[in-house]
């Protein structure tokens, strides 16, 4: 291949039609309060694990909604299930059950 001095940029477009969101649908069936999330970030702000690692429930939820599961399972394993986020969630999302559902449906 000739040396062009540049290369294709990886496309960062989120293609909802192309992404397989079947695991997200299974998670919603297991834990319907997932739908209540408004991505306010309270869970992430109060997270003890997130203070010391890159764990972020909000980022996980964003990935799930987009059908982008890369790194979601590894992140879900970092949760200590302390439940602080569940106490503070203004929408009543059952975050502990959500994390367990993620662990169940995403390999």
Alpha helical stretches, state H, 6-56: 22-30, 42-46, 48-52
If the CB atoms of residues 8 and 107 are measured against another protein, the closer one turns out to be 8
* Stretch 3-22 residues interacting with another protein (CB under 8 A): 4-9, 11, 13
CA distance 71 to 63: 9
How far, in Å, CA of 89 to CA of 33, rounded? 11
Closest distance of CB 41 from another protein, Å: 31
Q: Residues near 90 by Cβ (< 8 Å), separated by ≥ 6?
A: 38, 40, 42
Cα 41 to its chain centre, rounded Å, is 12
Any contact of residue 52 with another protein (CB under 8 A)? no
Question: How near is the Cβ of 12 to another protein at its closest, in Å?
Answer: 10
Nearer to another protein, 5 or 92 (CB): 5
# of chain residues touching another protein (CB under 8 A): 10
- Positions touching another protein (CB under 8 A) are 1-2, 4-9, 11, 13
């Amino acid at each position: 291949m000739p040396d062009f001095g540049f290369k294709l940029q990886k496309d960062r477009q989120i293609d909802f039609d192309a992404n397989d969101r079947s695991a997200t649908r299974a998670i919603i069936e297991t834990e319907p309060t997932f739908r209540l999330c408004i991505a306010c970030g309270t869970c992430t702000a109060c997270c003890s694990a997130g203070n010391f690692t890159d764990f972020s429930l909000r980022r996980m939820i964003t990935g799930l909604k987009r059908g982008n599961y890369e790194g979601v399972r590894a992140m879900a394993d970092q949760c200590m299930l302390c439940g602080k986020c569940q106490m503070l969630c203004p929408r009543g999302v059952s975050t502990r059950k959500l994390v367990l559902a993620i662990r169940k449906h995403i390999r």
